[in-house]
Structure 1
Amino acid sequence: MQHAIVVNDLRFTWPDGQTLFDELTFTVGAGRTGLVGTNGSGKSTLLRIIAGALRPAHGSVHVAGTLGYLRQDLTLDPDLPVDEVLGIAAARRALRAIEAGVGTDADFAAVGDDWDVNERARAALDRLGLAHIGLDRRVGEVSGGEAMLLGLTAYVLNPPTVLLLDEPTNNLDLDARTRLYDVVATWPGVLVVVSHDRELLERVDQIAELRDGGLRWYGGTFSDYEAAVAAEQETALRLVRAAEGDMRRQQRDLIEARIRADRRAAQGRRQQLAGGIPKIVAGGLKRQAQQTAGRQRILHGEKLDEARSRLVEAEEAVRDDDTIRVDLPHTAVPAGRVVLTARDVVLRNGARVDLDVRGPERIALLGPNGAGKTTLLETIVGTFTVASGTIAPAVPLRYLPQRLDVLDPAASIAANAKRLAPAATTNEIHASLARFLFRGSRADQAVGTLSGGERFRATLAALLLAQPAPQLLLLDEPTNNLDLASVDQLAQALAAYRGALIVSSHDLPFLRTAGITRWLRLDRELTEVDPQ
């Protein structure tokens, strides 16, 4: 069999009894496939099932070829050497022993034909912008984005025939994303990538949309997929309008048929009372009229039912994807009012920062991986102390970290929100959570059972409901775990926010939609830049 992923009659059910997939069957062959879908549709779960990290309740998953899987929540042991991550530590140790003249048969076997392992590794690191990282360094010395790239470098060095990537551009700067795009565009085998990154999805050969537990396939890139969906929706809406018109006609015909039957019955009664019709004839006419009226009601009723069914079928074809509706608190900050000051600050990584934030500024924080953007945000909120200088927030603030560890995973969404807003009523909490799509009993779901995008929504909802409401929002890579529709919705909501905003992100389209007024770049020191 050629290299492929073959899934047959798959059923997967969560421990709470909720079925995510049922009778799911598909095959993915050579080429690049973009897997898209709304948050919570099961994209990451499906990759985990294919990779063997989760067991289905029924069905089979077969991977023809060698498998590589890069998780979006990749966590590496900070004490692990880089060469261990790349899978070449044994070969390097054996090579050193041989070069020192103490090599054994086992060392020669470990090296095999890979005598240039060090050169290959450095070339692969350089391809992904990691030439500055030595093979003997520890993972704890690199940033989260660099750790993700190290995981990808391991597969570039020893390519599997089937590769699964789950949100690989999370935490990557613009240069790193460009390098990753090149890897994806030139991947020779089977590649399935889950991503909200439009630029990345323009490098795939087909799009698989996960929706309502099933997959729909679209040839071409993400732009081709959007065009196809738009055409489908135009047709679906036209069918809905036609079905609505048909149902109105059938309702009108049914009413008119009843009026005509009632008129004939009334006319017969008047004639009988006037003595113009013998009683036996009148009885026969009455029975005939009743039978005719009954047949007409049945006929028009059936037509109405058919029209109603066509309308329901047409409406089901129309997408009504829920997106988060963010009602940000009314936290207007007057123009010119000082919100945050940082004077002669030296961060723990040595970066220097001088900053004044005034009024409802919207600041984008840019910079390469490892420059200290997250360190700066966490220093502002007090997680880290400055090496020197002072940072002084002047208003209530809230921070949404990229690791999304604000909430207690064992507690429910509602309980977490209540913890941050103890004075809020149960109705207020549930009303707020409903705007983030946690309606009814979903608000009582444990945070630890949520997908990445769902956890983001829950965390943002809890922070915005918190008391006092934030006049300064700090967001660290907020779009990492959001589907494309929610990214657009969040950007629109932040554009309407009346407080001050600092967002660390590499997603330039998102930042522009959010109405950024000031662009800063952190790389040894904080400077103003023009993103153009």
Structure 2
Amino acid sequence: MSPSLTCTSLSFAWPDGTPVLTGLDIAFSPGRTGLVGANGAGKSTLLKLIAGELTPSGGTVRVAGEVGYLPQHVTLDTSLRVDEALGIAARRAALHAIEAGDASEEHFEAVGDDWDVEERALATLGELGLGHIGLDRTVGELSGGESVLLRLATLLLRSPDVLLLDEPTNSLDLYARRRLYAAVASWPGILVVVSHDRELLELVDQIADLRSGEVTWYGGTFTAYEEALATEQEAAQRMVRAAEADVRKQQRELADAQVKLARRQRYGRRMSEEKREPKIVMGARRRAAQESAGKHRILHEERLADARERLDEAAEAVRDDDEIRVDLSYTAVPPGRDVLTLRDLELPYGARIDGVLDVRGPERLALIGRNGAGKTTLLRTIAGELTPAAGEATAHVPLRFLPQRLDVLDGESTVAENVARFAPKATVNRVRARLARFLFRGARADRKAATLSGGERFRATLAALMLAEPAPQLLMLDEPTNNLDMASVRQLTTALESYEGALIVACHDLPFLDSLGITRWLLLENGKVKETTREALDGTA
């Protein structure tokens, strides 16, 4: 029987009563599905409901086959050996006992028919680039990205019928991502992936767009989805314009009807005052006129109400994914001006830059390298948070650093108060006017930072750094797209388009880096930083 996954009238609310999903109907058939939607739409919640991690408040989840689930935040017991994390330790121990001559029945029962489990495990690890770790090391010896791949290897060994992946590339470097892409591309059953990784979403067969509690399906990859969505939005905008024109027309006709009614009433009063006709005739004429005028007015009022209803329906089809649009000309750096000098720099944990590396003018640098290579350490050293082991890092312009942890904001202060801390001389009105351009308008600017969603918190942190005084002419970002939905990534891209200073971005998301107009590519590898090219990175495996 082929695997299937169906959710019927599925509902879920948090303990405080906040609804997440209400009466959702969705079905997945064999193939790869990309599940997209804004932060807070319920994507991760839906995967947890399917995986049995959460209990629905209503409706049902029916699965034909076994479910494997890779959560967004992978946590493994660091004391476990790799074979224990893979779930094969007992079978492996039994195999080794049998090979050593112990023919106890319990060992044969433990192995069952899985005589090649060790070879399969090593092959799966090798396919994911983990062949070097072996089966006897502990999880605590692995990096965060390797832990994610190990959890994926566990799922691949089980070969579940339904595989659920929630932001699987967040902790993966460029090399590990390529391994995961290959595993996804060859998956034979049902696969549902929640991701903002464009390259990953280019591997799916269809897109499920979760928005306002409903799912809309689009065939093809993410590019096909974007093209179809753009066509839909153009049509929706045309419908809105046509509906707006109809409303204006109905308003004019209603106004004309009201003017005609007023004229008839004045004429009737004048005739009555002049008593040109018998009273009984004038009364009948007045009643007939009022009845006719009333029907005419009601007709136009109904037409106007219908036109407004059509306008509301048309407007609902238009997405309101606002974009950040800001003028940051005060961040401009003249071409050729010295921005940053790194001279014989040795980082606290061993990586180094031999000789001199200069950054000048409004250059845009991408910093690439494996997890643990030292990218974050380099950025923190440039920002002055760490002291170099040797050499020097000299910034010639004001700089700001956006860390992965987004711990720049004070959670108990409002968004406006946080931004004011970075621009103490700015007036309240100036701070709020600037925040409005980062989509924090009115009461949104008065929310405490601790209550913000991941995407909102990132946007508030970005606003605080980019609106700081003095204006940052060197901006450094460390894995800025982690945990952001597609709309937030687009907002970040448009904000950085307005930024006119120098930019250094440590990131594994190549399509995002391409969108920034990177001018130089730096590769941190084997403890050293060297210049590379975008084309060379395409061949990275």
State whether TM-score is above 0.5: yes
Q: Is the 8 A contact 1:324 1:486 kept in 2?
A: no
1:364 paired with 2:366, answer yes
- Select 2:501's aligned residue among 491, 499, 502: 499
2:178 aligned partner: 178
2:532 aligned partner: 529
1:470 paired with 2:469, answer no
Q: Is the 8 A contact 1:491 1:511 kept in 2?
A: no
Farther-moved stretch of structure 1 (434-443 vs 186-195): 434-443
Aligned CA-pair RMSD:
3.2
The 3-state SS of whatever aligns with 1:461 is helix
- Select 1:508's aligned residue among 494, 507, 510: 510
Report Cα offsets for 1:127-184 as digits up to 9, x if no partner: 1223333333344444333332222222222222211111122243444333322211
Aligned ranges 1:355-504 → 2 under 5 Å: 355-407=357-409, 434-442=436-444, 450-466=452-468, 469-504=471-506
Farther-moved stretch of structure 1 (92-101 vs 249-258): 92-101
Q: Compute the displacement of 1:27 (Å).
A: 2.3
1:306 aligned partner: 306
Separation (CA, whole Å) in 2 of partners of 1:479 and 1:277: 83
Q: Compute the displacement of 1:414 (Å).
A: 5.7
Q: Compute the displacement of 1:187 (Å).
A: 1.1
Separation (CA, whole Å) in 2 of partners of 1:407 and 1:122: 44
Distance change (3 Å), C-alpha of 1:121 and 1:443? farther
The 3-state SS of whatever aligns with 1:69 is strand
Which residue identity does 1:313 align to in structure 2? E
Which residue identity does 1:285 align to in structure 2? R
The 3-state SS of whatever aligns with 1:330 is helix
The 3-state SS of whatever aligns with 1:506 is coil
2:156 aligned partner: 156
Report Cα offsets for 1:267-288 as digits up to 9, x if no partner: 4444555554334433332222
Q: Compute the displacement of 1:476 (Å).
A: 1.6
2:257 aligned partner: 257
Which residue identity does 2:54 align to in structure 1? L
Q: Is the 8 A contact 1:488 1:510 kept in 2?
A: no
Which residue identity does 1:341 align to in structure 2? T
2:124 aligned partner: 124
Aligned residues: 532
TM, length-normalised to structure 2: 0.87
Farther-moved stretch of structure 1 (237-246 vs 498-507): 237-246
Separation (CA, whole Å) in 1 of partners of 2:411 and 2:115: 47
Separation (CA, whole Å) in 1 of partners of 2:289 and 2:416: 62
Q: Compute the displacement of 1:368 (Å).
A: 3.5
Separation (CA, whole Å) in 2 of partners of 1:7 and 1:323: 33
Which residue identity does 2:318 align to in structure 1? V
Q: Is the 8 A contact 1:329 1:464 kept in 2?
A: no
1:41 aligned partner: 41
Distance change (3 Å), C-alpha of 1:190 and 1:403? farther
2:68 aligned partner: 68
Residue identity (%)? 63
Report Cα offsets for 1:459-488 as digits up to 9, x if no partner: 323444556553322212212222223323
Separation (CA, whole Å) in 2 of partners of 1:316 and 1:249: 21
The 3-state SS of whatever aligns with 1:124 is helix
Q: Compute the displacement of 1:233 (Å).
A: 2.4
Which residue identity does 2:361 align to in structure 1? G
Aligned ranges 1:259-274 → 2 under 5 Å: 259-271=259-271
Aligned ranges 1:123-142 → 2 under 5 Å: 123-142=123-142
Distance change (3 Å), C-alpha of 1:356 and 1:317? same
Structure 1 alignment gaps of length 5 or more:
none
Structure 2 alignment gaps of length 5 or more:
536-541
2:167 aligned partner: 167
Separation (CA, whole Å) in 2 of partners of 1:17 and 1:430: 32
Distance change (3 Å), C-alpha of 1:496 and 1:443? closer
Which residue identity does 1:474 align to in structure 2? M
Report Cα offsets for 1:311-370 as digits up to 9, x if no partner: 111111122223445665833334444333322223355432242223332111123344
Q: Is the 8 A contact 2:325 2:494 kept in 1?
A: no
Q: Compute the displacement of 1:37 (Å).
A: 0.8
Distance change (3 Å), C-alpha of 1:412 and 1:50? farther
Q: Is the 8 A contact 1:143 1:369 kept in 2?
A: yes
Q: Compute the displacement of 1:296 (Å).
A: 1.2
Separation (CA, whole Å) in 2 of partners of 1:348 and 1:84: 34
2:538 aligned partner: none
2:88 aligned partner: 88
Q: Compute the displacement of 1:193 (Å).
A: 0.3
Distance change (3 Å), C-alpha of 1:470 and 1:92? farther
Separation (CA, whole Å) in 1 of partners of 2:395 and 2:300: 71
Distance change (3 Å), C-alpha of 1:319 and 1:280? same
Distance change (3 Å), C-alpha of 1:449 and 1:82? farther
Q: Compute the displacement of 1:491 (Å).
A: 1.9
